[in-house]
A = this chain, B = another copy of it.
Amino acid sequence: MTAADQTAAGEDVPGEEKPWDQVTPEAARKLLVAAVEAFAERGYHATTTRDIAGRAGMSPAALYIHYKTKEELLHRISRIGHDKALDILTAAYEAPGTPRERLAEAVRSFVRWHAGRHTTARVVQYELDALSDDHRAEIIELRRESDAVVRRLLDEGVAAGEFTVPDVPGTAVAILSLCIDVARWFNTQGRRTPDEVGAFYADLVLRMVGAPQDR
């Protein structure tokens, strides 16, 4: 990743809460932000706890006060990222409105997060295999829940006669996949803001479920 195409992991995105605010104390938060940046740049396996401590301006001993292992840092990042993804989808699901309006909002906000936080999202999405077996099982369960929220939205849209979806589980996977991959290609120098990509993708997804905006 070049420096130019990433948002710093700790940077503010307009309209979004500050990332990692829930992580305290401040030193633990700084280490987490440093870990996200190091993992995104060099990959989990090529990063040492010494690299992470150095990036946060701390000693390896100071790191061990907060995190016993490098895997604990990755797990914390992955857990916060996956909780956030599930929160975004659940909030859209539970909002008032038709299935079509709620699906559009789910896509808009999920894409906005993956674009605005693409450095974090890449670590969250691409380093699952580096988690311990227990941690991976926990994260996979969160992913199943996210998937289930989208499936429920599609089922409700089909039941309401708004959507035409021959394969609900397959379409749910494809919708989430389309949104997640934004983290791979999104570039802060590109022609669209995270909000604009979100709105554009909401339209594409409504087409995928047979409910185009212009109908």
Contact = CB atoms under 8 A, between A and B. Distances in A.
Interface of A: 1-2, 41-46, 125-126, 129, 164, 166-167, 170-171, 173-174, 177-178, 180-182, 184-185, 192, 200-201, 203-204, 207-210, 212, 214
A121 to B, nearest CB: 12
Given A43-B45, A126-B126, A208-B204, A185 B177 contact: yes
Nearest to A129: B1
Contact of A210 (B41, B192, B212): B212
Contacts of A192: 170
A120 to B, nearest CB: 16
Number of copies of this chain that the complex holds: 2
B171 A204 contact: yes
A155 B145 CA distance: 39
A93 to B, nearest CB: 21
Contacts of A41: 129
A48 to B, nearest CB: 10
A171 B171 CA distance: 18
